[in-house]
Structure formats: C-alpha cells, structure tokens
Structure 1
C-alpha cells in the first residue's frame, strides 16, 4: 500500500516539474523565434517534435519481446497526442493558426501504410522498419534546409553614435544568451520530469497488474504524453499555437517513422490481432480529420468535441478488449 502511495506522489511531483518548467521553456523559445525570425512551426517540428521518452519506452519493450507494448505505444501515443492536447483548449478558446503544409500529412499517410503493411505480413516489421527510418531521415533533411535563421540587424540612424549601436547589439546578444540558457534549463527539467513520470507509472502498473495490450495502447501512451499535453496547453494559452502544432506534427512523424522503425527492426514480426488493427483505424480517421481541420485556420468547440469523442472511442475499444 505504501509503495503505491510513494510512487503516486512521485508521479505528481514529476508532473509539477513539467508544469512549471514548461513556462520557462516556452516563453524563452518564443523569444528566440522572434529574435532570429525563425518560423515557430519549424521550431516546434525540430525541437518539440523529437520525443526520446516515447522512443525509449517502445525500444525497451521491443528488446524485451513485448511486441504489443512497443507497437501499441507508437499508435496509442499518436492518438492521444492529436486528441487531448487540442480538444481541451478548444472548449475554452477559439484557436487560430496558420494552415499546415500538405507535405507533412503526406509523410504521415505513407508512414501509416507502412505500419499496416508491417503488421499484416510475415517479417513485415523488419523490412518496413528500414523504410520508416529512411522516411524520417528525408523529412529531417528537408526541415533542416528550411531552418533559416535571419539575424535582425539594426542600422545606424542619423544622430546615433556607434557607441550607442554597440550597446544595443551587446544587450541584444546578452538577451540571446540568457534565452538560450533558460530554454536548455527548461528542457532539461521537462525531460527529468518526464522520466520521473515514466518510472513511477511503470512501478504503479507493476504493483497493480495490467494486461500488455491495454498497458501499451493506453497507459504508457498517456504517461509518455503528459509533458507534450502540458506544453501544448500552455503554448495555446500563451498564443504560441504554431509551436504547439509544429511540436505535435513533428511528434507524430517521429512516432510513426523513427520510433516505429527502430522497434520494428528489433521485433521483426508481430502476430496480427484485431485490437491492433482497430487502433490503427482510429489513428487513420484521426489523421484524416486533423488534416481537414488544419486547413480551416481556426479551431473551435465543435472540433474539440469531435476529437474528444474519438478519444473516448479509443479508450472504450481498448477497455472492452481487455474485458473479453
């Protein structure tokens, strides 16, 4: 009894670390985007879109031959990432944003086809795993090329001495340095809080005994999403929606290519079950719907309600599956 209470307490501590570190991280990351004139969406893709906790959870499960946890975490994590973080704010805010390029959704659709192929065919995960990793490398190369940092320079005006300009540039450089340091510190604390969440959640699950499929598709998927959910909620509240969207799209691509690719190569093969297929269908429906609403430039209560209904269907199907 005391063991469970201790781990629950540590789980809560981990969440609060993430909650407060997210403010520091997002405020200073947004400041750097303004200073360097870099698209917040691209920053989201390349910084928030990389999810080491998700990969570690799936890869460790794969090395321990826990096939359904490894694959389930990838699919379940992606479903949760596209529902809860955007559904909750939509009940309270009208979220406005720039439309997302179709290129990113095309990559996601290709990855989804690869995942289904890997699940259906013998040794499919092994061969598809390499293809998924290649897709991620191509995606990364394209985004790194698009990552253009344009420094803001201040031209001397009449009546201003060079000394004044030097002081302005010095202050600007100091602000850059401070923001970089605070972004790194914030990210470290978010990562540490996430690790504490995962470790404590695993201990709670071991002490309470939960089936492997439900554990993979739901529990681990939720736990590895807590920091992302917090970051998205805070970024929307701070009117930094493009960072949130970039982070979630980047995370989905990371999940379906890099994480699935490495896990698939290790697992090599998985026995087909209907629960895996139905979760894949839910994710596909969710991606198609998200692709549709991404063009509207505004996210309102009705969109949040539909996303929440999809999430409820996801939980219900997995809960029923463990009851049969």
Structure 2
C-alpha cells in the first residue's frame, strides 16, 4: 500500500514536470515561429502568450473528460483562478515590492473579470436532474456554449480596444531565427503536454481512491496549483523586466480563459459534474479572491503587504478545504 502510494506520488510529480516542460517548449517555439511568419502582436499576445500559459490546465481537463473524471474540469478551473490571484499575484507582489496597475485595467479589464466570474458562478450554482435520477451540480452543453460565446466577445473586445497592450507586447518581441529544431521542439512539446496531462489525471484518480479524498479536492489544489506555474513564471519575468502591466495582464487573461474556455470547451463534449466541495468552498473563495483583486487594482498598486495577505488567504483556503477548521 505504502509502496503503491509512493509510486503514484512520484508519477504525479514526474508527470507535472513533463507537462510543464512540454508546455514551455510548445509556447516558446510557437511564439518564435509565429514571429518569424509575421503574425500580429495580438495573435502572439492573446493566443500564444495569454492562452499558452493555460495549456497545462486545458490538456488536463480534456484528458479528464475522456477518462470519465469530468469533476476534475471545473475544480481545475476554479482552483487555477484562485491560485492565479492569491498565489501568482501574491508571490509576484512580494518579490517585486509593488505592482503598478494601469488605468485601462482599472476601468475596463478588472470589471470585466468580475462580470465574467459572476456569470460563471451563475452557471455553476443550481442542481439539475441527471438521466440516472440523481441531482448534481453540473454544466451542460448549452451552458458550455454560453461560456465560450462570452469569451469570444471578450476576445473581440481585446482585438479592437487593446492597442496599447498589443504595442507593449510588440516591444518585447524580437524576430528570431527559426529552423527545423524549433519545429521539432514544438511537436515534442505537444507530445509532452499530452503524455504529462494523461499521467497527471491517472495519478490524481489513483491518489483520490487511496486517500479516500474527492477527486475535486485534489484537482482544486494539486492540479490547479501545479498548472499555475507557467503563469507565475511569466508574471515574474514581466515584472522583473519592468513590465508590471504585462504581469497583471497575464494573470487577468489566463483567469478569464480559465473560467470561460477551460470549462466551456470540454463541456461541449460531455456534461461536467461539479463536486459540492467546489461549489460550497471553491466558488465563495473564487468570488472573494476576485473582489480583493478588483479592490487592490482600484488603488492603482498591488503592494507587498497585499501580496502577503493573498498568500495567507490561500493557506486559509487550503485549511478549510481539508477540514482543519
């Protein structure tokens, strides 16, 4: 029993390493190839840099639905957003002292994040009767399509109104030399993401059964926290490069993508089951974290003490999730 448990822990950690490294290779080489082919900064910024950091979450979610563990999807999305705000933003603020928040983020983007979060919560709450006669919290295909439609509206808004953000991305991009190695690493990255995601889900299901803990709880913590590492890397790199607006923009873009597309895309293929721990603990914490993010943004700066508070709130969230109080 102990040997099997240790085996799956090792598999879980190794799979995450493969998943994240594969994601890194995929993003870096897709960005280089995109720049070399003359793609617009918007496409590179929103589709490659912004969505690219959510590739681990998306891969894990698709593997989950085809493994019959649909409860992982929403738990992963909710947990990833909580980790993005409380851990990624928190650590970035603590390390970089203060993060300046631009006015366009205060007046447009932060309210948009709050609105999309509220819309997502509205979709999640409320039980529905399944074909087997049981009542569950679910997301059906119609609701998934609604979430995707909301994201497409957001993407259209970004295309027409985010010129300043696009120019900042453009200023960071150099035109690299691309050869066969970039293509090899790109496809190698795709392979690593797929294999890593499959093993992460397999290990999650195995550990859930051995520990007698809901799959949703492991997903909202371990998978979500692990798959938020790319966002942490990008945000720290942007903040240290003197581009704090990109650090927050990365968190914002990834968070909107998570609650709309990370749930919406898998939801087209099957009904998504939502565990009660996600609804009654994860959702309230998600709303609270989003509100705190908005309030901090209104003050024009996310201070170091704000970041420390975010990290403490995440620790309290974990304690509540595991029934420590």
TM-score (norm 1): 0.71
1:187 Cα deviation (Å)? 8.0
- In structure 1, stretches of 5+ residues that fail to align are 151-174
Distance 1:108 1:78 in 2: 11
Distance 2:192 2:198 in 1: 10
Distance 1:180 1:281 in 2: 48
> Within 5 A, what are the aligned runs for 1:159-174?
none
Tell me the alpha carbon deviations over residues 270-311 of structure 1, each in whole angstroms, 9 at most, x when there is no partner: 467254232111011111110111233322221012211221
Is the Cα–Cα contact under 8 Å of residues 23 and 193 in structure 2 kept in the other structure?
no
Closer, same or farther: CA 109–301 of 1 in aligned 2, 3 Å: closer
Partner of 1:122, secondary structure, is: strand
For the aligned residue pairs, the C-alpha RMSD in angstroms reads: 4.1
Closer, same or farther: CA 43–305 of 1 in aligned 2, 3 Å: farther
TM-score (norm 2): 0.71
1:13 Cα deviation (Å)? 5.3
Q: Report the counterpart of residue 88 of structure 2 in structure 1.
A: 85
Q: Across the two proteins, how many residue pairs are aligned to each other? A: 290
Closer, same or farther: CA 266–48 of 1 in aligned 2, 3 Å: same
1:248 Cα deviation (Å)? 1.1
Tell me the alpha carbon deviations over residues 147-183 of structure 1, each in whole angstroms, 9 at most, x when there is no partner: 6577xxxxxxxxxxxxxxxxxxxxxxxx624499999
1:303 to 298, 306, 309: 306
- In structure 2, stretches of 5+ residues that fail to align are 130-137, 168-173
Partner of 2:96, secondary structure, is: coil
1:112 to 110, 113, 117: 117
Does structure 1 residue 138 correspond to structure 2 residue 150? no
Distance 1:305 1:68 in 2: 31
Distance 1:54 1:187 in 2: 18
Does structure 1 residue 283 correspond to structure 2 residue 259? no
Partner of 1:137, secondary structure, is: helix
